[in-house]
Chain A
């Protein structure tokens, strides 16, 4: 098994595009760890961040196969680039009087937020790298996690470069040859 690669994919905002991407991963046997999709600065385009568990060579295959989808404009493997990556988790924790201060301490250390509080539970929101979210979840687990949801990773390269700035030929000088 290879390690996880983080791909940022710019796609046309059209019906069925998510299905095309998901179908490609399924039929080629690429294992998706997480996939997020949302709007971008341009209404015609959507942006996906896909975390896929493959070796580097297969990551190239994933990238080239994504380019074969007519609705895919740009693919960037940002795994080894300087990029900001963020995962958001909502964690519903069981609260008892003797654990309340432990929880608050953990929340403060991770610069998380308490977004809901009830007599015997609270919801904690934490944002950060996957590793940060993982470690906070591990600290909360012994106290008692009632429910957990994570958005999956979103990523953006640091600096002035922009994935969305597609030139007129549409390929941003990237070796994009969907055939």
Chain B
């Protein structure tokens, strides 16, 4: 049998894991692996920074449901990945990171571009490896893909020293399931817990479903819909749960939490039963935990047992795959309607409609909310929306309606500014047939703006909407509300984004007036290729409702009625 180099084994192994595309950036300690790349039918996308490669692989994973792959060199290559690794970790996104490392003989000597990559990434990966023998490379890659994609997904990093890439061995790719003595992702719910949950559901008068990203990761959308309709239970979602339940369904209340819908937050506080499905009671969705949903019994279903009773003590905790657990519960619960409860929620919803900024006179004022709403209307809700982090992100969640899973790609737990454009690259690569819109603020966009070069080089038909208000808007909003309007370090100068885009050969528009929004979005959609639109919006517009940090969930700051 012919022997292969470690570099060849990496690509052979990736092929066997079904990998079609790798996002990366070459360098000295990974050059041998890049040298072997042209011999393999794998598309490599050169980003402009390793952080971009990490977010692109993460976006690819979120948009496709498959494991994403990012590659970088040692030292600064791997440290530049870390923001992207941490972002993938906290949002449970399956990405395999392959990094070059100095030779095994040089490890520990402070060699050129040596850094302790496995040490640095230990707390921000689901698992990581330093491969010190080329014979371990193939099975390590096999394990890494299995760990990244199974159970609660997450990033796995493989650090490969240069002499391991250059070493040779016989290549035998492991077949069949991975056997790891300490890793057994599986269901473990107990029959009596299910029975207790069913009794609580049947006995509830004011039940409410809190649906998180677990619905999407588990593929439990159909089960969630069936359960909600059978039991007449309204549904509110976390930001990452958006798309797990059809947004235009009458039982849908929208997002919960800090910038959630008033009716959702009120419903949580007034409910007598909370059904938490695949979510983790993040502080951005609970507000003050000591006053959180005190009148409600709580049932929590999550794949990760460490999420149960972590933040909010619950009455029934079920560790298991949501699709499977709901599948067992649905036939055993009684059909219900809960009309008085839904009427109670609708009254709050009606009040919210009257407070909506879109009911105000916006003839001569361009606001981000209006841009997002028109984008939703023009695209018929069929686009995949990739956001950056900040005010525009909240508007993208509030004013676009997501009816399908994997249609909103956003950094939730980490709130990583700069995520939007590179994640948009990964999303468009994963789903070339779908219309993909990046919505970013002028601040976050500038953090990873050089990835426009990647968009141009790969000729990605990506549409970019910058909600440009001249401020780091979310921080400015906090300064306005809680720091006596001292706008410390939040005014931000931007270049002429259209000129930047045009320098890359990307078509660009500026929109300053509401009447130009729809025609410009339409023009962008007509153009076969990337387009950037710079929406110059109202500078000091705020995101409402808002639960101030640490406040009771139903003590929201609201917009005045028009």
Contact = CB atoms under 8 A, between A and B. Distances in A.
A170 B151 contact: no
B122 A61 contact: no
B180 to A, nearest CB: 6
Nearest to B310: A61
A19 B147 contact: no
Interface string A13-57: 000100110011001000000000000000000000000000001
Contacts of B184: 169-171, 176-178
A19 B182 contact: no
Contacts of A24: 123
B306 to A, nearest CB: 4
Most buried by B among A11, A12, A19, A60: A60
Contact of A179 (B118, B123, B185): B185
Given A67-B305, A68-B304, A178 B122 contact: no
Contacts of A11: 182
Given A23-B122, A27-B123, A178 B303 contact: no
Contact of B182 (A12, A16, A64, A65): A12
Contacts of A23: 122-123
Contacts of A57: 309, 313
A57 B312 CA distance: 12
Report, nearest first, the 7 A-B pairs whose CB atoms are least far apart: A179-B151, A64-B306, A179-B152, A170-B181, A73-B182, A70-B127, A64-B305
B305 A175 contact: yes
Nearest to A72: B182
A179 B309 contact: no
Interface in B282-310: 303-306, 308-310
Given A60-B309, A169-B184, 13 more contacts: A16-B122, A61-B306, A61-B309, A64-B306, A64-B308, A68-B126, A70-B183, A170-B182, A175-B188, A175-B319, A177-B185, A177-B304, A178-B183
Contacts of B319: 175, 177
Contact of B122 (A19, A72, A179): A19
Contacts of A169: 184
Contacts of A64: 304-306, 308
A70 B305 contact: no
A117 interface: no
A67 B122 CA distance: 15
Interface of A: 11-12, 16, 19-20, 23-24, 27, 57, 60-61, 64-65, 67-73, 166, 169-171, 175-179
B119 interface: yes
Contacts of B180: 70, 170
B6 to A, nearest CB: 19
Nearest to B143: A70
**B contact patch SS:** loop
A69 B147 CA distance: 11
B91 to A, nearest CB: 15
Contacts of A65: 306
A16 B310 contact: no
B112 to A, nearest CB: 24
A70 B147 contact: yes
B249 interface: no
B485 interface: no
A177 B181 contact: no
B186 interface: yes
Nearest to A19: B122
Contacts, number: 73
B151 to A, nearest CB: 3
A169 B186 CA distance: 11
B182 A177 contact: no
A68 B147 CA distance: 11
Nearest to B317: A60
Contact of A19 (B119, B306, B308): B119
Interface in B149-190: 151-152, 180-186, 188
Interface string B310-333: 100100000100000000000000
Contacts of A19: 119, 122
A177 B123 contact: no
A60 B307 CA distance: 11
B305 A177 contact: yes
13 contacts: A11-B182, A57-B309, A61-B309, A64-B306, A65-B306, A67-B182, A69-B182, A70-B147, A70-B180, A73-B182, A176-B182, A178-B182, A179-B152
A122 B8 CA distance: 63
Most buried by B among A71, A73, A178: A178
A177 B308 CA distance: 13
Contacts of B123: 23-24, 27
Nearest to A175: B188
Most buried by B among A11, A175, A176, A179: A179
B313 to A, nearest CB: 8
Contacts of B188: 175, 177
Given A69-B182, A70-B127, A71-B182, A177 B151 contact: yes
B352 to A, nearest CB: 37
B555 to A, nearest CB: 28
A166 B505 CA distance: 61
Interface string B106-147: 000000000000110011001100100000000000000001
Contacts of B309: 57, 60-61
A68 B186 CA distance: 13
A12 B183 CA distance: 11
B536 to A, nearest CB: 43
Contact of A178 (B118, B151, B308, B313): B151
Nearest to B319: A177
A121 to B, nearest CB: 39
Most buried by A among B122, B182, B319: B182
Contact of A16 (B118, B181, B306): B118
Contact of B185 (A60, A166, A170, A178): A178
Nearest to B156: A70
A95 B309 CA distance: 54
Contacts of B182: 11-12, 67, 69-73, 170, 176, 178
A8 to B, nearest CB: 15
A67 B151 CA distance: 13
